[in-house]
Amino acid sequence: MQLSYAQNLEDYHLSLLFADCPQGVYIDIGGGHPVADNVSFWFYLKGWRGLVVEPQQPLADLYRHLRPRDAIETCLVGRADGEADFHIIERLHGFSTTVETHAAGAKQFGAGYETVRRRVRTLAGLAAAHRLDAIDFLKIDVEGAEADVLAGADWSRLRPRVVVVEAIAPGSMQEAHGAWEHLITAHRYHFAYFDGLNRFYVAEEAGALATRFPRAKTPWEQTRHLYEFACAPDNAEHPDHQLARALVAGFLAAVPTLPTPLLAELLRRAPAVAEAERQSPPTLSGLLHGAADYPGPITATNLTLEALLATDRVRAALGRIAAPYDGGQLLD
């Protein structure tokens, strides 16, 4: 493996177990972002497919664009079918949880949360609905609700060869597997490896896989990690640097021609713009108005984002930005 996408080398350790499997099937409960800090993405690139459960709608939508072979469910996974509160942490999507005390703990990182209702389905029901029976690995990362997920499995029918469960409590970083490990080991699964964050269990009938785990903790430098490369346009070492630079140039060249609703939608994805828009009155003008001299009459500064984008002053800013990319300003 040249590049790990996972948070803690989980995909690297699984790649050792399944090195001889060009194709396979996974279930990823709490998938998170489809690429960053993702355990199953490396296997998707290898040609595998699976079921991903991610209750945060914007993240689930990304899977449909980036990983079309996967089946995506936006529900929660629990002991029984029904509904439950789901607490979505702002900015720190990896902390989103059904456990409100854990959600409140995100305040130490300066993050609030909103609570929504989500459908709850059992792991057994999801596997049956998607006709999944031969599973290579099951990964569970649900920020404190691991016992609920495991209790809803039918271990007589669903026998993943390997089960990976995050075993550290959110926030406190205390070991948490004592609350749920018996729900796995009671069904002929044996503990095989702890990577400092997750515990790996191997089905009794697949016991030979346990011998492929490293005998000592894997050095962090064993492979590169996606986060090391930061932003693709800024880092020449990023594997997609050239493509990112081309996309930036193409996008900036097209900026003045983009429809106002699309431009507003793109700008709202920037945290600074979203925050400025939430202020009363909005403080968007400081972000959208450039520092260049503007000899014409200046309209009110507390306009909405769409209204500002329709002013000559902001159109001028877009034109100045695009000029070096659209052929108007030659720099060589």
Question: In the predicted model, what is the mean pLDDT of residues 17-31?
Answer: 97
**Cα gap 241→249, rounded to integer Å:** 12
Tens digit of each residue's pLDDT (9 = 90 or more) over 99-147: 888 888 888 787 888 999 999 999 999 999 999 989 999 999 999 899 9
Residues sharing a CB contact under 8 Å with residue 57, sequence separation 6 or more, in sequence order: 74
**Cα gap 71→85, rounded to integer Å:** 23
In the chain, the N- to C-terminal Cα span, in Å, equals 41
Residue 186 β-bridge partners: none
Radius of gyration, alpha carbons of the chain: 24
Tens digit of each residue's pLDDT (9 = 90 or more) over 188-243: 999 999 999 999 999 999 999 999 999 999 999 999 999 999 999 999 999 999 99
**Cα gap 319→207, rounded to integer Å:** 63
SS3 assignment, position 40: coil
Tens digit of each residue's pLDDT (9 = 90 or more) over 38-60: 999 999 999 999 999 999 999 99
Per-residue pLDDT band at 172 (split at 50, 70, 90): confident
**Cα gap 28→50, rounded to integer Å:** 8
> Does the CA dihedral 42-43-48-49 come out positive or negative?
negative
Helix (H) or strand (E) holding 245: helix 241-254
Bigger pLDDT: 94 or 262? Answer: 262
Structure-block tokens of residue 285:
């003008």
Query: Which pairs from 215-220 meet CB under 8 Å and 24+ separation?
Result: 218/9, 218/12, 218/13, 220/9
Residues sharing a CB contact under 8 Å with residue 75, sequence separation 6 or more, in sequence order: 53, 55, 118, 119, 120, 121, 126
What pLDDT does residue 331 have? 81
Q: Does position 298 have pLDDT exceeding 90, yes or no? A: no
Per-residue pLDDT band at 285 (split at 50, 70, 90): confident
What pLDDT does residue 36 have? 95
Domains along the chain with CATH numbers: 3-224 (3.40.50.150), 230-322 (no CATH)
**Cα gap 28→206, rounded to integer Å:** 20
Helix (H) or strand (E) holding 70: none
Query: Is the separation of the CB atoms in 119 and 156 below 8 Å?
Result: no
What pLDDT does residue 90 have? 85
Structure-block tokens of residue 52:
């991903």
